[in-house]
A and B are shown apart, each in its own frame.
Chain A
């Protein structure tokens, strides 16, 4: 039941939409068909059109005239990285480069391994069919990428428009270039190495962490803030929750009643409570869960533990959906060729199940990214809390600037989530989830 629910809660397959100026329709005919097909429709168009026009006017006026964006411009660094010392900012850039390179490499390899074999190396008709879309000049490809990632591009452009020097823009361009190059490299990895590309991703995460924290002047994660904290908490939460969730899913599907009961109880219990409550509980309780001799973990570690425990229950349900989608015949065939139970799971079931749940996992990643905003409730200097803090500064106090700051934070969240959601939908179509 949960599977049906989860799958349906996700965006469904794209709908063929009757797009504007379809060939053979004059603008006049198009308006007729799409805006005024009946008197009722014409009235609706006028009514909604007036409403939309008014809303757009108010919004445009607010964004470009009324709102005072100085509060964002002055505090841009707080929004991005919290109270990270300015002298050590290079660490974040370096970590960003390491992370982007490693993750792009892994993603490129993963994408290549999932491409239908015909499109990968075929040269004939199949190659043309699959690869035709990829060719084209640099400008064409840039335009395609722009169309694909426009929410992120928009947000980055807005953020950069608030910077005062050219360094951040150059740094961002470099990031994009490294990402594209690493992705292309990953896609060209020999098949033998592709299987281990995810290790590069993990190494990239750990390496980035080292770059930020290690050595003289390193900044420990307890002092992180802003968008940086949100992203770090999301990555940490998913990365840590995934193994636990996988085990729980296997436990819930297991034929051993003892395992099943424990896993099911865990999953249902943690899905039933709000994350905020869990964060509070973790705050108060996790410190005491360690022997008295051990120094209690920092608040951020507690929060990440609470997030992990919570996310694992959701990931377990997603993975369970994938496990259920693997046809029985696959398992029987694997058993017939003499694989051990572990071998059946590792070589036959899991690869198919995990591939099928990638879009849903991206969805969970989005949902966790949104949930990191809750960190502001338990006292972290996270994006939402930054919007509170900046409106308390002497220069901006009592001017009703909270909506301005929130709008900026909202744009960042929106861009991140919308981009990932679009990618998830693309993947869903490409993997043919729900079609097989």
Chain B
């Protein structure tokens, strides 16, 4: 190209790269627009409604374990479904991270039995559809749990029955909010103190026990606050009363099935990531750390784990995203998450296409938020090379 331009003769239009580039893009965009308008025309011709007014109408149904009433609007119902989705996602992601990390480390254990048991766990669970795992958990629970009249009660800590489950939980004993604020302040102070001790250690080289100082401060604040506010939080014990569980955190079986199923499935993937990330830290790093006299624990703590963490974070966030999207499988066991609620809404005669579009929009927002976290983490953790 450069030569032709230099000699002053321009190629014909259909061979000029600059023209072709623009023309090609215009053609692609025109095709996309044409396709979209074709779809829209057909949808209109088929009387598909794009009216979102139904969101303000009465939902006409309630959702168990939430304060949704039939008189609330459809939008309220869908947001309640979204809240259920996010609850499973949040609790599930935390449990998945804990379980997955434990199993990933167990796969690297020096103990043959531990290593093998963890390996079997991973190889079995990650090769089965999550939907099947959820339904399996649900159906096994249905067949082994007792009816609520003779529920299994474990000393006020746990109540198991086929219709409802309860776990001991924290409840407001008066002043819970003040206590929470106090704890938050204590946490900030503790972080500040440990940062200060860390700086001191970096400067002087003398051990400054940052964790002891920070942790100690937090515990002290908690104890003093607990006494001063006259037990602001109490334990709430679940008990069977009549045909329902009272007190504690009450859960329906579908919720538990979705949660347990997704945690089992996703933790097998997280375990592989954890294992792979630890193995991906070059051997030389461990050897070098040993050479400068670090103990095995110090080697892990200061050399291997920080680097493994850097490698593992983006794919683990990706798994969080998968778990969050997979909560939609709850639809199969009648757990009232976003998609299930959307289906109910459609079943009540509201227009299908806009309802699903709203649901997909909500999923999109949640997923993109997680992707954003992932991108930020990726940029923060990226190895900066020369």
Contact = CB atoms under 8 A, between A and B. Distances in A.
A262 interface: yes
Smallest CB-CB A-B distances: 5 pairs: A258-B25, A272-B367, A12-B276, A400-B143, A417-B127
Interface in A162-221: none
Nearest to A391: B139
A259 to B, nearest CB: 6
B184 interface: no
Interface stretch (A115-123, A131-139, A238-246, A288-296): A288-296
Given A48-B114, A281-B357, A272 B371 contact: yes
Contacts of B346: 284
Interface stretch (A77-85, A87-95, A368-376): A368-376
Interface stretch (B52-60, B188-196, B220-228, B311-319): B311-319
Given A8-B277, A11-B272, A11-B276, A410 B42 contact: no
Interface in B114-130: 114-115, 117, 123-124, 126-130
Contacts of B353: 281, 284-285, 288
A4 B131 contact: no
A174 B110 CA distance: 45
Contacts of B367: 271-273
Interface stretch (B149-157, B167-175, B231-239, B324-332): B324-332
A337 interface: no
Interface in A222-271: 256-259, 262, 268-269, 271
Given A262-B32, A284-B352, A277 B129 contact: no
A413 B132 contact: yes
Contact of A8 (B42, B136, B315, B364): B315
A403 B314 CA distance: 36
Nearest to B314: A5
Contacts of B28: 258-259, 262
B132 A406 contact: yes
B375 interface: yes
Given A274-B326, A280-B356, A289-B42, A376 B110 contact: no
B111 A5 contact: no
A1 B317 CA distance: 12
A75 to B, nearest CB: 17
A9 B275 CA distance: 11
A281 B42 contact: no
Interface stretch (A37-45, A96-104, A347-355): A37-45
A52 interface: yes
Interface string A379-397: 0000010010000000000
Interface of A: 1, 4-6, 8-9, 11-12, 15, 17, 20, 34-35, 37, 41, 44-45, 48-49, 51-52, 256-259, 262, 268-269, 271-278, 280-281, 284-285, 287-292, 366, 370-371, 373-374, 376-377, 384, 387, 400, 402-403, 406-407, 409-410, 413-414, 417-418, 421
A393 to B, nearest CB: 16
A400 B363 CA distance: 35
Nearest to B357: A281
B273 A413 contact: no
A418 B129 CA distance: 12
B363 A274 contact: yes
A105 to B, nearest CB: 27
A272 B128 contact: no
A45 B113 contact: yes
29 contacts: A8-B273, A8-B314, A9-B319, A12-B272, A12-B275, A34-B111, A48-B113, A48-B117, A258-B28, A272-B367, A272-B368, A272-B371, A273-B367, A274-B339, A276-B329, A276-B331, A276-B339, A285-B43, A292-B45, A292-B46, A366-B127, A370-B129, A370-B130, A373-B131, A374-B131, A384-B129, A406-B135, A406-B139, A413-B129
A158 to B, nearest CB: 15
B140 interface: yes
Interface string B356-384: 11011001100110010011001000000
Interface in B294-323: 311-312, 314-315, 318-319
Chain B interface, DSSP helix/strand/loop, else mixed: helix
A373 B129 contact: yes
Contact of A34 (B21, B110, B123): B110
Nearest to B324: A274
A254 to B, nearest CB: 9
Given A12-B276, A41-B110, A284-B352, A52 B117 contact: yes
B26 interface: yes
Nearest to A7: B315
A371 to B, nearest CB: 7
Contacts of B132: 373, 384, 406, 409-410, 413
B218 to A, nearest CB: 29
Contact of B111 (A12, A45, A272, A281): A45
A414 B318 CA distance: 23
A285 B42 CA distance: 11
Looking at B127, B130, B332, B353, which has the most chain A CB atoms within 10 Å of its CB?
B127
Contact of A274 (B32, B123, B269, B328): B328
A426 B114 CA distance: 25
A374 B356 CA distance: 17
Contact of B140 (A49, A370, A387, A403): A403
Contacts of A45: 111, 113-114
B332 to A, nearest CB: 5
Contacts of B126: 417
A156 to B, nearest CB: 16
Contacts of B21: 256
B344 interface: no
A273 to B, nearest CB: 5
A73 B236 CA distance: 49
B14 interface: no
Given A274-B363, A403-B139, A280 B128 contact: no
Contact of A280 (B48, B277, B280, B343): B343
A4 B313 CA distance: 11
B364 A269 contact: yes
B185 interface: no
B29 interface: yes
Interface string B272-295: 110111011000000000000000
B293 to A, nearest CB: 22
Given A9-B273, A276-B329, 6 more contacts: A4-B378, A273-B364, A280-B339, A285-B43, A289-B39, A406-B139
Nearest to B29: A258
A406 B136 contact: yes
A377 B374 CA distance: 30
A107 B129 CA distance: 26
A377 B314 contact: no
A8 B381 CA distance: 15
B65 interface: no
A285 B48 contact: yes
A45 B109 CA distance: 11
A1 B382 CA distance: 10
A366 B130 CA distance: 13
Nearest to A373: B129
